[in-house]
Structure 1
Amino acid sequence: MNPAAAPRASLGTTGRAETPMAFVQAIVAAYAQRGLDPLPALSAAQIATNLLDQPDARITALQMEWLSASAMRELDDEALGWFSRRLPWGSYGMLVRASLTSPTLGVALARWCRHHGLLTDDIQLQVSQSQGVASLQLTEQRELGVLQEFAVVSVLRNALGVACWLTDSRIPLLQTTLRFAPPPHAASYRVLFDGPTQFNAPEHSLQFDAGYLSLPVRRDEAALQRMLQRALLLTVRPYRRDRLLVEKVRQTLAEHPEHSRNADDLAAWLNLSARTLHRQLKEEGASLQQLKDAVRRDMATDLLLRTQRPIKQIAAEVGFQNEKSFMRAFKGWTEQTPEEFRLARLP
Structure 2
Amino acid sequence: MKTLTLSTHYPRTILHCIQDQKGLCAEFLSDAQISPSVINDSRARVPIESHVKLYQKIAPYINDESFGYLEHPLRFGTFAIACEYAGTAETIGRALEKISRFYSVVTDDLKLDLQIVGKEAHFSIKLRKPELDKVFFLVETFLCIGFRLSSWLAGRAIPLKFCQFSYEPVENKNEYIFLFPCEHRFAGTGPNILAFDADFLNFPVLKTASDIRSYISRAPADLLNKLVGSDSFTNRVYAVLSKKDCDDAQDAKTVASELAMTEQTLRRKLRSEGSSVQKIKDSLRLDSAVFHLTEDKYTIAEISEKLNFSTPSAFSRAFKNWTGVPPEEYRNR
Q: TM bucket by the smaller chain?
A: 0.5 to 0.7
In structure 1, the residue corresponding to 2:102 is in which secondary structure? helix
- Tell me if structure 2 keeps the 8 A contact 1:177–1:201: no
* Matched residue SS, 2:61: helix
Which residue among 25, 49, 52 is the counterpart of 1:38?
25
Matched, 1:230 2:223: no
- Name the count of aligned residue pairs: 232
Change in Cα spacing, 1:147 to 1:37, as seen in structure 2 (3 Å) is farther
Cα distance 1:146–1:224, how it changes in 2: closer, same or farther (>3 A)? closer
CA distance in 1, matches of 2:96, 2:104: 13
Q: 1:107 aligns with which of 94, 98, 109?
A: 94
Give the aligned residue type for 1:212: F
Contact 1:170 1:241 in 2 (8 A): yes
Moved over 6 A (4+): 33-36
Query: Hey, what does 1:138 align to over in structure 2?
Result: 125
Whether the 8 Å contact between 1:172 and 1:194 is mirrored in structure 2 is no
Please state whether the residue corresponding to 2:53 is helix, strand or coil: helix
Write out aligned runs for 1:5-20 (5 A): 14-17=2-5, 19-20=6-7
Report deviation, 1:215.
Answer: 0.4
1:44-83 correspondence runs (5 A) = 44-83=31-70
* CA–CA separation in structure 1 for the residues paired with 2:18 and 2:40: 17
Cα offset, 1:222, TM superposition: 2.1
Contact 2:48/2:221, CA 8 A, preserved across alignment: no
3-state SS of paired residue (2:130): coil
- Equivalence for 1:320: none
Q: Structure 1 residue 180 and structure 2 residue 170: aligned?
A: no
Deviation at 1:53, TM superposition (A): 2.7
Which runs of no fewer than 5 residues in structure 2 stay unpaired? Answer: 233-258, 262-333
In percent, how many aligned pairs have the same letter? 20
Aligned to 1:122: 109
**Distance apart, 1:152 and its partner CA:** 1.0
* Distance (whole Å) between structure 1 residues aligned to residue 159 and residue 47 of structure 2: 22
2:82 paired residue number: 95
Please tell me the root mean square deviation across aligned C-alpha atoms, in Å. 2.4
Instruction: Give the unaligned 5+ runs of structure 1.
Output: 1-12, 243-273, 277-347
User: Which letter maps to 1:64?
Assistant: H
Counterparts of 1:126 and 1:157 in 2: how far apart (Å)? Answer: 14
3-state SS of the aligned residue for 1:79?
coil
Structure 1 224/64 Cα, relative in aligned 2: closer, same or farther at 3 Å?
Answer: same
Write the deviation string for residues 197-252 of structure 1: whole angstroms up to 9, x where unpaired.
1112521111111111000111222222222221323302313358xxxxxxxxxx
Matches within 5 A, 1:274-285: 275=260
Secondary structure (helix, strand or coil) at the match of 2:163 reads strand
Q: TM-score, normalised by structure 1?
A: 0.61
Determine the C-alpha separation between the residues in 1 that align with 2:73 and 2:30.
Answer: 24
Which of these residues, 201, 207, 213, is aligned with residue 195 of structure 2? 207
| Residues 158, 234 of structure 1: 8 Å contact kept | no
Higher relative contact order (CA 8 A, sep 6+): 2
Query: What's the counterpart of residue 229 of structure 2?
Result: 239
Q: Determine which structure has more spread, i.e. the larger CA radius of gyration.
A: 1
Listed one character per residue, the Cα deviations across residues 36-89 of structure 1 (whole Å, up to 9, x for unaligned) are: 822222112221111133121122222221111111122222222222222222
2:181 counterpart of 1:194: yes
Q: Give the Å deviation of 1:124.
A: 0.7
Distance (whole Å) between structure 2 residues aligned to residue 195 and residue 142 of structure 1: 27
Mean Cα deviation higher: 26-35 or 155-164: 26-35
**What SS does the aligned partner of 1:223 have?**
helix
